[in-house]
Amino acid sequence: MSELKIVNYPHPALRMKCQPVANIDKDLRLTAGRMLELMHGREGLGLAAPQVALDQRMIVCSFPGAEGTLDLDLVAVNPVIVECKGKLKDREGCLSFPQLYQDILRYKSVKVQYYDLDGKLNEMVSTDLAARLWQHEIDHLNGVLFIDKMGPLARFGSRHDLAKFIKEFDDGVASGKIPAGTEPKL
């Protein structure tokens, strides 16, 4: 699992619609653990499987705890948003777009169903930052990126950053640091 790494835009894995997880086994648990390490190593709040070039409907999240308590790390397998309420525009970033932040309109509250690593179905209602986190990571599982949610002005304001990501990716492929025809792994 140590070969997992976070891929940056425009890596093709970021645009795939991931396959549902059929079996929760030792390999999936190891993958989830490595994803949590990668997420924490980059001081992120969430990471979806396609961000490490995996074709699986799994995300890891770290929900901030109440003041004075530890954060809650969570692994969600096959997560689905089943209810949404309200709207809220707020600043958002992504580990696959280092240093790029824009205001994105999202639902203020969501109800999510997911399986944990024991195969138990869970349901969670979240608001504000936690709701934004769920939506952002579940979007990744469907090949939707936060840049797709930007308004025209935000997109225009981000054009130089996006061009830089594309150039870095192309240079990485040309130099052999990023394999040509990079394919997601099952």
The pLDDT tens digits for 11-35 are: 999 999 999 999 999 999 999 999 9
Global pTM value: 0.92
Per-residue pLDDT at 166: 95
Which residues have a catalytic role annotated? 137
Listing DSSP states for 22-82 in one string gives ----HHHHHHHHHHHHHHHHTT-SEEEGGGGTB-SSEEEEEEPPSTTS--EEEEEEEEEEE
- Rounded to whole angstroms, how far apart are CA atoms 50 and 12? 9
> Which domains can be identified in the chain, with CATH numbers?
12-175 (3.90.45.10)
